[in-house]
Structure formats: structure tokens, C-alpha cells
Structure 1
Amino acid sequence: MNKITITAEFNVFETIEELPYDIQNLMHEAVTIRKTAYAPYSNFKVGVALKLDNGEIILGSNQENAAYPSGLCAERVAVFYAGAKYPEAKILKMAISAASDSNTTGAPIPPCGACRQSIAEYEIKQNTPIEIYFMGEIGAIYKSDSLKNLLPLLFDKKFL
């Protein structure tokens, strides 16, 4: 038997003001769009802002549905829209902000598993890492240099 060890490394920023200026703006966009989320069931709102290599900023918020699997997370709303509107553009950076109507989210909240897999598809397709910044409503912001840091054993087309 062999053993493997997988580690993840993140940069931690204590406040939005510590972020590089362009990421501050991206995070503010994510916070603003988060407020448009349609989340009447979970009362958990997520906003995402993507920076594309063509200079475009793409926004997304989670959209729930009474038939729960029919809704979409904010990350997939933004990534799929970017892929549809700008199919040749690369996603360079992603800012995610999440908040609950029930309690204050003070810890950084990363993308769920389904969103990680969807982001992985685009990172692999574009052959360029996507910087991912994520936070709760308040508190520290984590930065991952690549989706592979969040999903190290990812599933992709080479397995098909």
C-alpha cells in the first residue's frame, strides 16, 4: 500500500481593503449582485463577479426553485453566461460573496462541489488557472490560485 498526501494553499486577506485594487472592485461587484439572489427557500444568497481576459465583468447570483435541483448556484450562472456570451474569452479571476438571512456568515465560503466541477471544465478548456477569491458576508477573504487547489482530484474528459 502507498499513501498520498494532498495539500491546499490559500492566501488570506483579513479585509477587502487588503485585496489588490482590481479584486476589491470585483468583490464589491459580487457583494452588490449577491443582493439580487432569488433564495426564498434557503435564504442563503451568493454573488459572483468574473473578470474575463477581454476586460468584461460577468455577474451572477444564485437562483432557487421550489423543485430544488432546478435552481442554479451563482458561480454556475456566471460561468455559463460567460461561456455563452464570450465563448473564446478566458476567465481570469472570480470573486464570490455569500450571506445568510438567518445569521452572519463570517467565514470564507467556497464554491460547492457542483460549481467546482463546472469551474474545472472552463479552467481545463482555457488551459489557464482561474484565481478564485471567496468570502462570507464579513471577515477574511481566501484566495486560491487555481480551481485545482479546491478540487485536486478533478474529473475531466480524459476519463471518458
Structure 2
Amino acid sequence: MEKEFKITFEAISSYDALDATEKKLFDAAKKIRENAYAAYSNFLVGCAVLLENGEIITGSNQENAAYPSGLCAERTTIFWTSANFPNVKIKKLFVIGAPKDAISSTPIPPCGACRQSILEYESKQKDEIEIYFASLDGEIYKTKSIRDLLPFSFDSSYL
């Protein structure tokens, strides 16, 4: 038996098509990307989240010579956010990644481990998190929920 799944996302035409808050998030993710510690991959990733209280939190990827010990930008950001704002919902998450010396790039979505971690926080807060992934030069994709990028998700309902 075959089944089809529909993955819904929006292609945003350019940076200029973003609203003022979304532009702040894009700019924050792009700026924090420069703080990434990517000594081994030279692939810098920045993440910015918008909390329901209007606060913007940022993070970047942090590598380690023992590769499994590093952490992606999305997880550094949401873990720090949850530790410091445990009862404040995450409304939006922007991620921008590219090689260190890149001038332009293609939009990079969250990796599988980050998707699973974002799903945990969506489940915890009982509310969707809009996900934006963008290129350095403003090619942007948006989903209304991480479930759009993780259709066969595993959550606490299986436990």
C-alpha cells in the first residue's frame, strides 16, 4: 500500500518580503553565524529564535575534534533558551548556514537531530514553531511547524 505525504512550505521571494520582525531574526542569525566555532568543517551556522515575549535569542554551531561532541546552532539556541526561559514559548526560528568564506549560499534546513529537538519543544509548549531557513543572500523557505520537515516524527506519545 502506498501513501503520499504532503510537505508544506513557503518560498519567500527575498529579504525585502520579510516583515520587520522577520528581518531582525534573519539579521541576527546571519550575524551570530560569524561567532560559530567551526574549526573542522569551516561551515558556519547561525540561529535566532523569537520568543512570545518579543525577546530574540541567538546561537551558533560549536564543533569539537571529537565530532559527536559538537552541537548545531539550532540546538545550542533552543537548549539555552529553554534553560533560561523555561516557560516562554518559541514562536519563530531562523537558521542560516554556509561555508566560512561564502558570499552566497543555498538555504540549509535543520539537520535530523535538530528537527527532533525542535519537535520536542513544539510538543512541550503545545504550539507550533515557524521555521525559516535561508541563504546568506536572502533566499528563504518557511514552514509553519517542524512537523512539515519531519513527517514521521517520534514524540512522547510513543512512550
TM-score class normalised by the smaller sequence: over 0.9
The code of the aligned residue for 1:27 comes to F
Aligned pairs for 1:1-160 within 5 A: 2-101=1-100, 103=102, 106-160=105-159
What is the Cα-based RMSD across aligned positions, in Å? 1.2
The code of the aligned residue for 2:131 comes to I
Q: Are the aligned partners of 1:93 and 1:132 in contact in 2 as well (CA < 8 Å)? A: yes
**Cα offset for 1:101?**
2.4
**Cα offset for 1:108?**
1.2
Give the distance between the partners of 1:159 and 1:129, measured in 2 at CA. Answer: 19
Q: Are the aligned partners of 1:106 and 1:139 in contact in 2 as well (CA < 8 Å)? A: no
Give the distance between the partners of 1:78 and 1:105, measured in 2 at CA. Answer: 23
Name the SS of the counterpart of 2:98 in structure 1: strand
Name the SS of the counterpart of 2:120 in structure 1: helix
**Cα offset for 1:46?**
0.4
**Superposed CA offset, 1:32-72 (max 9, x none):** 00000000100000000000112211110000000000000
Give the distance between the partners of 1:133 and 1:121, measured in 2 at CA. Answer: 18
The code of the aligned residue for 1:65 comes to N
**Cα offset for 1:126?**
0.7
**Cα offset for 1:85?**
0.2
The code of the aligned residue for 1:50 comes to V
**Cα offset for 1:107?**
1.8
Name the SS of the counterpart of 1:89 in structure 2: coil
**Superposed CA offset, 1:92-133 (max 9, x none):** 001111111265553211000000000000001111000011
Unaligned regions of 5+ residues in structure 2, if any? none
Name the SS of the counterpart of 1:49 in structure 2: strand
Greater Cα offset, 103-112 or 86-95: 103-112
